[in-house]
Amino acid sequence: MFSKHFRFLVMAVLFSAITIASPFARAQAALGSYNITPSSVTVAGISSGGYMATQLQVAYSKAIYGTAVMAGGTYYCAQDNDALWGEACATGVSVPVSSLVSYTNKEASAGAIDPVSNIVGKPIYMFSGTLDTVDYQATMNDLYQYYQSFTSGSEITYNNHTAAEHSWVSPDALTACLYLALPYINNCGIDPEQTFLTMFYGTLQARNSGALGGSFIQFNQNPFCANGNCAAISMDSTGWVFVPKNCAAGQACRLVVALHGCSQNQETVGTTFVHDSGINEWADTNNIIVLYPQTIDAYAPYNPYGCWDWWGYTNNHYALKSAPQMTAIMAEVNKLAGGSLQL
């Protein structure tokens, strides 16, 4: 869950350029297609996954409806120079928000990302614990300022008052709210998943607190990565998707892309984030498919903690529509939607 990635550059000389394969990286089923309402695609993420959720929303704002960001930060915060900006993005000190807004507008005008007008009026949920020692609350405040350059503050729900450490927050978690510990899923006595899913989709049916009726499907991610090689961009050969019974039977469904943080991938914590995010219980009773893309720890490119690329370890287009990881994720989304999205 580390955000101070500039340290990684110093550590790089200590490791040889090899790629570590995930013990879960066994190619399973091909990803299926379902009756997904195109306007229902949303994203949610924690830490590096929070940064990636913001990148997906901004770059693919035509296709992404709502976004939930826990302990992330501003779009293009690292500016492809983590050595210079990594500390600022972790602490929120001296982040040039106005410059990041200008960059966003410039890339939108150039067609490298979707028009920023697509962000207007879409629901945004933000969470930043007051005890966060990895991505300080100030960096989420920067994100709040950034978002208000593109949409009304009335569209943003920002929980910045809960005494939480750096974590994904779920009412089913075992770790107490104030601790920083694997698997970085904490119980703070609240249910953010209910909050942001309600923002996305309106009134929900009661969550399933018993055995889930839907299925967890491990699928082959390689077909969605360039040259069929996800390891080359620090993505695992397999990902996961949770499919409720109604969705498998062809009913109209919605889709949430759930993005783990650093050291929260299946290589490190197994399927803990996939099974314990707190989203599936709501998804099971509300016709919501949940996609869980996966990274791997890698040394070529240099990403030893399995973070999503928010600082440029894949290439300098990491925050644009052409970014290799975002292209792969959106290809998975489009496959689930039966090719119905306009990307």
- Nearest Cα neighbor of 217 from 197, 185, 244 is 244
Distance (Å, whole) CA 275 – CA 170: 11
Which positions are annotated as active-site residues? 47, 132, 166
Give which of 22, 51, 9, 15 is closest to 296, Cα–Cα.
22
d(CA 321, CA 343): 9
Name the packing angle between helices 137-147 and 97-109 (round to 10°): 40
φ, ψ at 172 (rounded to 5°): -95, 0
* Cα–Cα distance, 274 to 270 (Å, whole number): 8
3-state secondary structure of 41: strand
Q: How far is CA 279 from the centre of its chain?
A: 13
- List the structure tokens of 99: 């410059």
